Structure 1
Amino acid sequence: MPADLAVIGLGHLGLPLAQAAVAAGIATIGYDTDPRPVAELAAGRSPVDGSLSAAEIRRMLARGFRPTTDPAELGRVRTAVICAPTRLGPDRTLDLSAVEAAARTLAARLRPHTTVLLESAAYPGATEEFLRPLLEQGSGLRAGRDFHLAHSPSRLDPGNRTHDYAHTPKVIGGLTPACTESAAAFYGRLTDKVVRARGPRESETVGVLESNYRHVNIALANEMAVLCHDLGVDLWDVIRCAETKPYGFQAFRPGPGVGGHSVPLDPNYLSYSSRTPGHPLRMVGLAQEINGRMPQYVIQRCATLLNEHGKSARGARVLLLGVTYKPDLADQEGSPAPEIATRLRDMGAHLTYHDPHVPHWRVRDVPVPRADSLYEAAAAADLTILLQHHRTYDLQGLAVKAQLLLDTRGASPAGAAHRL
């Protein structure tokens, strides 16, 4: 059966979109150049940690979803959505190589009247300056005349059952008004509300603002955590009280680092952009610096706690609880746990870990032993560190068993543990 939609990129962006489309009755194919995720999906398994369950994948397949590595399939759809991964490189530039590869593959098979949508993280101007020329040169077609082109920032919150795809407003910005309406017609089948931006640049900048908002506010919470510890103030009680204010305040909480798939973007560091503003977003850069220091701050707190109890980090038995970036998910994208584990190892500590969602864990290609009995491991460890609070953890019980418990998430009862 011919498909109406092609989702290009079967990762954390593409799979939820494909799921929403299939649920809406849209004939959907999932395309990826990597045969591994395609094979996993075809076998009824999720290729992405913390994404869809095996049962959800099987339901998609039963409803007609077809994963494929055949690029010819892209020439038979009415709508193609590029969900290729984009990440920041070591120099803080956004790597769009996967988007480029997807665009070139699609362009060679692009038909007139197709709607092409970009959901991958992008800088303001990427749809027009980067994606459009690739599609036009590869297809011989003209965007806005022969095919529709638009951008829509991803707003996925993995594991959030309240704000799922259908109940999260979708922002769209088309190259032309007709492009916007074509995109609106597609997304209107998947979500309760579609919000039209003035154009793709505005839509792209929505993604930049939303991502930076998260990172900047987490950085403020992290700075407050350090300050409050130095002052002997209970930050978690401060946040509890502050969030009762009915206006002008949204609670963000500190942690051992900032994980997740969204990245802080400063347009001054966008390698593909031909026009940068010349004024770096200083607050974004500072937020990234502050958040990047949190793993080292956790290590300092660990060393201090051990020292106060007559122990050294060298030779200490340390249990890490929760190594994913988000509670109750298996997704480890951007988790601070590997850096913290590496630093502890470098100090000579002996590590074990426990995570109900991660059966095996390696750091620098070296396996970390997994604790089979959580309470026995906590009792045996010189220091237990809560890095992620999964709902299965009974922190009151762990605080009783553990010799020392450092809670980096503020999830333990007051007085039951040392909190960040």
Structure 2
Amino acid sequence: MRSRLRSVLLVLAAVLSPTARAEVPMRGHGGPVRALAVTPDGSQALSGSFDASAILWSVEDGTALRILRFHDGAVNAVALLPDGGLLTGAEDGRVALWREGPEPERILTRHAGPVSGLAVAPDGASVASSSWDGTARITPLDGAPALVREGHRGPVNAVAFLPDGRLVTAGYDATVRIWPEAGSPLSVPLEAPVSAVAAAPDGEIAAAGADGALRLLRPDGTVRASLEIGPRPVVALALSPDGRRIATATVGGAVAIVDRAEARVRLTLVGPGLPVWSLAFRGSGELVTGGGDRLLRRWDLATGEPIGPLAMARPADALAAFAGDRGAEVFRACEACHTLTPDGGNRAGPTLHGVFGRRIATVPGYPYSPAFRQLDITWTADTIARLFEIGPARFTPGTKMPEQTISASEDRAALVRFLEKATR
């Protein structure tokens, strides 16, 4: 008996220990993980998500240290300052600087379109941001005016700093541009829209995008090497701390580790087949990835294996009890952002439990935008149907909800009937 009790205690200790918890993917976001950064010592990671939040994680034990909620839209970019400051850039065009406290210390800059990338200058004194408004900005942290870089034809998808402080931008117009301190940029035409860019310690530039190819550019813009990563677009790049390896991620879920000097794939990480939107090296031995399944995973680069289980157990299908219900099928498009039950909690959007008869913007703990809080709406069958008839942007100005309408009146009616049953 004593021996069996000791065995049980050992098992419990293993399950509850920080090391054991570290071998479970980090789960906490309510949407795809769009951006990642890891501290130089590897102890913490900052992630940004489609759910409009950023989370600061303890990587070793997989716990969330801080949840940052402020932006009105997906957090597409994150970065870390040398002094410990946190940076988030989002769909709402704002770049926020966080230190202590539940709110940003200040807004560094405001773009006229979604922020797509962030980079910190080598001296740590300024931050570059790229945006789908067609510009990049270099914003000094001392409060001086931002320097606006214009010239790309269409969205600017990514930014990076060269070791000498020059800015590199990558655009949907299939160019990489290298900007001097003053004057016109060097424009390097490539063969497809460029989604990601990174700069190595020796000044070489890695660029990749829609054609699934990784290109290595010398500091003068000439192409040193081109490497086919796969048939699917490359959406994220990361350089190892020593600059010797490049990690690439595709919308098909493939992650390739490339030897930069040899321009050759050395390792392929096989995931669950879902898009990988973000990645970051953790020292020289690990990679952290964020994907469409809302998880952060750690990978052992010596073996190519995930640290912990590759797949998490699937939660029970909340809609299984409503099989054959047309309204439940319509609601599946909403399921990623909203729960229906008392214990479901908030995701990217607030829980819908008890929604009928509830005044708008009153779910406890959900960070509604100020404009949304000013609306005078009570949720009823009529107001919910109207929301999907004309769309959230018109019915609830200031909403974080993605724009969507349900054109068929019978589908709107089915959705309302389903919600009346499922949210009681």
Q: How high is the TM-score relative to the length of structure 1?
A: 0.29
Structure with the higher helix share, 1 or 2: 1
Q: How high is the TM-score relative to the length of structure 2?
A: 0.29
Structure with the higher strand share, 1 or 2: 2
